[in-house]
Structure 1
Amino acid sequence: MTTNRSFSFELFPPKTEKGFENLKTAVNQLNALNPEFFSVTYGAGGSTQDRTFASVDWLREQQIETAPHLSCIGSSREEILQILDRYHEQKIRRLVALRGDLPSGAGLGSLGELNYANELVEMIKERYGDHFYIEVAAYPEFHPQANSAKADLKNFKRKVEAGADGAITQYFYNPDAYFCFVEECSDMGIDIPIVPGIMPITNYVQLARFSDACGAEIPRWVRRRLESFGDDLEGIRAFGAEVVTELCRRLLDGGAPGLHFYTMNQATPTLKIWNNLGL
């Protein structure tokens, strides 16, 4: 494995004190692996946003490199700039800039002043220049709301042209989808690093629900094997670790610039894959 690859971990802001303690435990275990950064997901408005700030604040107190997510749907420019000023004061140097999920039944244009991630990237660049390294989302199996694969690639290119420095993909289990996507991006003149997002498999029912909602395909043979374990969580996790380890190995051997693990605030599944890979 080369040393210039980027390895990072995603967290979500916990809702309870116990959840926050679990997050701290997971971070302490994963931080021992010297990741490039931890990202923290974002909820627009109210208590959800406050939980994001609390998680980011704690990580920065530990001197841990932190990349907060920031979505623009449902927020005014002024609200977004206030958040950016806060992160700038905390000496945060990396952000994950996203459109954000549309609430059910809502249409673009009715939820704030910015409708697309490329507009958010442009605004960050206008205000802060190159202070922030900006990650954006990429979809090797294409965004579920995209009209076509071609339209989705054009949307991605708009984010890059707006000033994105790197991209993290939606999780997937078919490495060919990733390599094909990267090749198509290269053909369009996109040359930023596109880091694969990796989702460890620990709970089949939950994973199937997530995947159906976000358009991530679970290969049929993997689904059938996972279904065969029934309630045997240990069996699901052991098989899941094998599948995801092999996926990561193929990605790294094929030239992926790193891995970004969706940890779900649990260290053990990611550590298992990490150790299997001998990183």
Structure 2
Amino acid sequence: MAPRISFEFFPPQTLDASFRLWETVRMLAPMDPTFCSVTYGAGGTTRKLTHEAVTTIGKQFGLNVAAHLTCVDATKAETLEIANAYADAGVTELVALRGDAPKGAERFTAHPDGFANSIELVEALAATGRFKIRVGAYPEPHPESADTAADVEWLRRKVEAGASSAITQFFFEPETFLRFRDAAAAAGIAAPILPGILPIANWNGVKKFATRCGQAVPQWLDDKFTATPVAEHEALSIRLCTDLCRTLLAEGVEDLHFYTLNSPWLSRDVARALGVQETRPLDHRAA
């Protein structure tokens, strides 16, 4: 049986990026994802662009869209105003995150009148009764976390605060996710945990990003890309990502969340390889 899938997009900041986003959505919408999420920029810098992208994707493509919402550089009242504006526009799913530090800052510092962390944000959103709330999870320790046990406990508290599911950071090996899933289950976390899947479009770029995030880069994977001609990297990426997903599905995973980076081809080809069919018209509701 084919998995349920979802996709993450990021809001465009240039005209060319806008065309790229809409082409990405247009290509992936026919796969009938359970939802699509739209990110904030670093430090919450794209709030308005995120709102525009979320509402446009929902209206023009008829997709269920979850908007990212963070605590960065905003008061509690401002954050809830943004959330309620989403609800008023018909957007009832949010991905509630603490958020990264603003550009130039070494670490996150809460606004004096803002939410101190993601748990406070989830509690406030849940209290409105207007949203289905998803949160982040880290199968490898968060850079500011002591260890995986601490990340599992933090996730447990977010679920208790009102989160209905979690989406993980990307990872390179299935065991990384499966160990975290099992630890979460042992801690009494019953909410679904969706593995975050990143088809590798640029190995050097992904490797650098993973290192900044504190994620371990398997030597075998680096060796594999290094030994493969660049012209063959796309085929290698599709094969490796498909194998990763098939292992997860064999271990009982039913949902996969693809980080598209606004580039649809790899995610589409992996989903197709997993048996996902294009069941919606290509231009469904598209202008």
1:59 counterpart residue number: 57
Moved more, 90-99 or 149-158: 149-158
Residues 133-162 of structure 1, C-alpha deviations (whole Å, 9 max, x = no match): 111011111212102222222111111110
- Which residue type is aligned with residue 100 of structure 1? G
2:19 counterpart residue number: 21
| Contact 1:193–1:257, Cα closer than 8 Å, also in 2 | no
Q: 1:256 aligns with which of 253, 256, 266?
A: 253
- 1:73, distance to aligned residue in structure 2 (A): 2.5
| Contact 1:72–1:112, Cα closer than 8 Å, also in 2 | no
Structure 1 residues 64 and 229: alpha-carbon distance in aligned structure 2, compared to 1, 3 A threshold: same
- Which residue type is aligned with residue 166 of structure 1? S
Give 1:104-143 correspondences, 5 Å limit.
104-106=105-107, 108-109=109-110, 113-127=114-128, 129=129, 131-143=130-142
1:188 counterpart residue number: 187
Give 1:264-275 correspondences, 5 Å limit.
264-275=261-272
Give 1:218-233 correspondences, 5 Å limit.
218-229=217-228, 232=230
* Local SS of the residue matching 2:33: coil
| Identity rate, percent | 37
Instruction: Determine if the alignment matches structure 1 residue 237 to structure 2 residue 234.
Output: yes
- Which residue type is aligned with residue 265 of structure 1? N
2:89 counterpart residue number: 90
| Contact 2:198–2:260, Cα closer than 8 Å, also in 1 | yes
Q: Which runs of 5+ in 1 are unaligned?
A: none
TM-score by length of 2: 0.90
1:35 counterpart residue number: 33
Moved more, 98-107 or 66-75: 98-107
Distance 2:141 2:254 in 1: 20
| Contact 1:73–1:112, Cα closer than 8 Å, also in 2 | no
| Contact 1:11–1:39, Cα closer than 8 Å, also in 2 | yes
- 1:105, distance to aligned residue in structure 2 (A): 2.9
* Local SS of the residue matching 2:31: coil
Structure 1 residues 218 and 46: alpha-carbon distance in aligned structure 2, compared to 1, 3 A threshold: closer
Distance 2:108 2:246 in 1: 40
Distance 2:120 2:45 in 1: 25
Give 1:149-160 correspondences, 5 Å limit.
149-160=148-159
* Local SS of the residue matching 1:154: helix
- 1:45, distance to aligned residue in structure 2 (A): 7.4
Distance 1:66 1:177 in 2: 28
Distance 1:265 1:179 in 2: 27
- Which residue type is aligned with residue 235 of structure 1? E
| Contact 1:59–1:66, Cα closer than 8 Å, also in 2 | yes
| Contact 1:73–1:115, Cα closer than 8 Å, also in 2 | no
Greater relative contact order structure (CA < 8 Å, 6+ sep): 2
1:199 counterpart residue number: 198
TM-score by length of 1: 0.92
Distance 1:9 1:212 in 2: 23
- 1:6, distance to aligned residue in structure 2 (A): 3.3
Residues 21-78 of structure 1, C-alpha deviations (whole Å, 9 max, x = no match): 1111110110000001110001377862221122112112212211000011221111
Distance 1:164 1:270 in 2: 26
